[in-house]
Amino acid sequence: MSNIVILGAQWGDEGKGKVIDIFSAKSDYVVRYQGGNNAGHTVVVGKDSFVLHLIPSGILHKGTICVIGNGVVIDPKALLEEIAMLEKRGVSVDGRLFVSEEAHVIFPYHRTLDELKEQKKKKIGTTKRGIGPCYADKVARSGIRIIDLLEADTLREKLQSNLDEKNAVLTKIYGVENFSFDGLYGEYLEYGKKIKKYVCNTKRLLNDAISKRKRVLFEGAQGTLLDVDYGTYPFVTSSNSTAGGASTGTGVGPTKIDKVVGVVKAYTTRVGEGPFPTEFGPDLMERIRQKGKEFGATTGRPRRCGWFDAVVVGHSIMVNGIDEIVVTKLDVLDDLDSIKICTGYRYNGKVYNDFPSSIKALTACEPIYEELPGWQSDTTKITSYEKLPRNAKNYLKRVQALLHTKIVLISVGSERSQTFSKGA
């Protein structure tokens, strides 16, 4: 039995989709445990590229069962569009996709409130998909769950109560048009009918599978530094993207999880606002952005890029209990003369080796760097660790030594075949 959590150990976009796809080949179940359609996983299969926002990447393996857990917030329209996209491209989901009846539902008023809040206050850099307002309703105990879409009377009561509150906020505070009850009620009842065949008690499904010694892979979205508790708050997402979220977002107890694997890029990126100590200057930023195709899978926004930050990843290893590391996009550094690794921060005369909670400190700190020689040769066709250039191996060895955590896989391109193990 091997039940594994795979998650991002930076600010997201680490290449988790590809890594999850690889691990899915040896998994019986793949379950998404948090976030919503604000996240995007890109998987390249031969000449085909799939961008998945809600459905786990394991759906691309015919024998794998995929689950959307209770910790995910679901836009039913987006889910149905994703199902249709997969079916159109020859990937069947019937009998292979299951959705938690306890997952919360995103409504149009969530998206509107998300957008209006971004305009009114200091920007967080959200995707404006309604994720935060939906999680806010969940915590305020006024949310509407997937099971409610299947019960007309329950949906009527909950939706009317929500609209009374939301329409008052929209009209009196923001001065925008309110939402019609009849229109939303009819639309979401119809969504309920269309997704009913996928809905079940997923916590029972997963725990029964584990009791039968099935292998379950827990798929994290976003990254550790976007976790609502352990990230660069308030410039974070609205859920727990750390390993603890795998239990609360699925109903599988932590003692049933065997391993946590963290995915990191060989450099660092983030999307949206917030502190980023190792961010490149404009010239190197554009160079790496173009070579690494650093544009958001969900929004298309250009990603901010910077040097590898061992403080950030060390923090992630601690709060997630990460056992092993996967390094992606090593090839993006192929052309550089020298490469820096951040090993600490200096702020107000003090050196930080732990990730500070203070946003002020993170914004104003000076990164402390080690500099290593680059390898200046193409690694995209390399198929084993032994064949990597000496300086590339030295770079990986130094990263591993700083993190005190074993690197097990290395990726040098977007295709499945461009991945190999590091060995002992």
317 in the same domain as 383: yes
pLDDT at position 122, please?
60
408 in the same domain as 286: yes
148, pLDDT greater than 60: yes
Cut 0.85: pTM above it: yes
pLDDT at position 38, please?
77
220 in the same domain as 79: yes
Element holding 100 (H helix, E strand): strand 97-100
H helices of 145-272, in order, are 146-149, 152-172, 181-195, 202-211, 244-248
Q: Indicate the pLDDT class of residue 124, thresholds 50, 70 and 90.
A: low
11, pLDDT greater than 60: yes
Q: Is 315 among the catalytic positions?
A: no
pLDDT at position 297, please?
66
What does the CA dihedral 375, 301, 8, 237 come to, rounded to 10 degrees? 150
399 in the same domain as 273: yes
Q: Cβ(107)–Cβ(76) under 8 Å?
A: no
What's the mean pLDDT when you consider all of the chain? 93
122 in the same domain as 37: no
Dist CA 69 CA 55 (whole Å): 10
296 in the same domain as 174: no
Dist CA 159 CA 148 (whole Å): 10
63, pLDDT greater than 90: no
207 in the same domain as 172: no
pLDDT in tens, 158-199: 999 999 999 999 999 898 989 999 999 999 999 999 999 999
Q: What mean pLDDT is predicted for residues 245-268?
A: 98
For residue 33, the tally of other CB atoms under 10 A from its CB is: 31
Of 244, 260, 276, the last residue of a domain is 260
Q: Cβ(418)–Cβ(388) under 8 Å?
A: no
191 in the same domain as 49: no
382, pLDDT greater than 80: yes
3-state secondary structure of 113: helix
Q: Indicate the pLDDT class of residue 343, thresholds 50, 70 and 90.
A: very high
Let me know if 30 is exposed, middle or buried by CB neighbors in 10 A (0-12, 13-18, 19+).
buried
CATH number at residue 112: 1.10.300.10
Percent of the chain with pLDDT over 90: 82
Q: What mean pLDDT is predicted for residues 98-104?
A: 98
135, pLDDT greater than 60: yes
Of 164, 195, 226, the last residue of a domain is 195
Let me know if 207 is exposed, middle or buried by CB neighbors in 10 A (0-12, 13-18, 19+).
middle
49 in the same domain as 14: yes
14, pLDDT greater than 60: yes
CATH number at residue 43: 3.40.440.10
Say how many domains are in the chain: 3
Q: 356 preceded by cis ω (within 30°)?
A: no
Q: Tokens standing for 262?
A: 């963290």
173 in the same domain as 84: no
pLDDT at position 97, please?
97
What is the DSSP track for 249-286? TTT--GGG--EEEEEEESSEEE-SSS--TTBPPHHHHH
400 in the same domain as 296: yes
3-state secondary structure of 232: coil
Q: Indicate the pLDDT class of residue 390, thresholds 50, 70 and 90.
A: very high
113, pLDDT greater than 60: yes
Q: Is 354 among the catalytic positions?
A: no
417, pLDDT greater than 90: no
Q: From the candidates 21, 41, 137, 148, which is the catalytic residue?
A: 41
CATH number at residue 326: 3.90.170.10
pLDDT at position 318, please?
98
Residue 205 — φ and ψ, nearest 5°? -55, -50
How big is the CA angle at 415 (ends 90 and 9), to the nearest 5 degrees?
105
356: containing domain:
264-421
Question: Among 64-78, 117-131, 362-376, which stretch is predicted with the lowest mean pLDDT?
Answer: 117-131
Q: Cβ(220)–Cβ(10) under 8 Å?
A: no
232 in the same domain as 94: yes
pLDDT at position 305, please?
97
Of 195, 223, 252, the last residue of a domain is 195
Q: From the candidates 13, 21, 114, 137, which is the catalytic residue?
A: 13
pLDDT at position 322, please?
98
pLDDT in tens, 15-50: 988 898 889 889 999 999 999 987 766 777 667 778
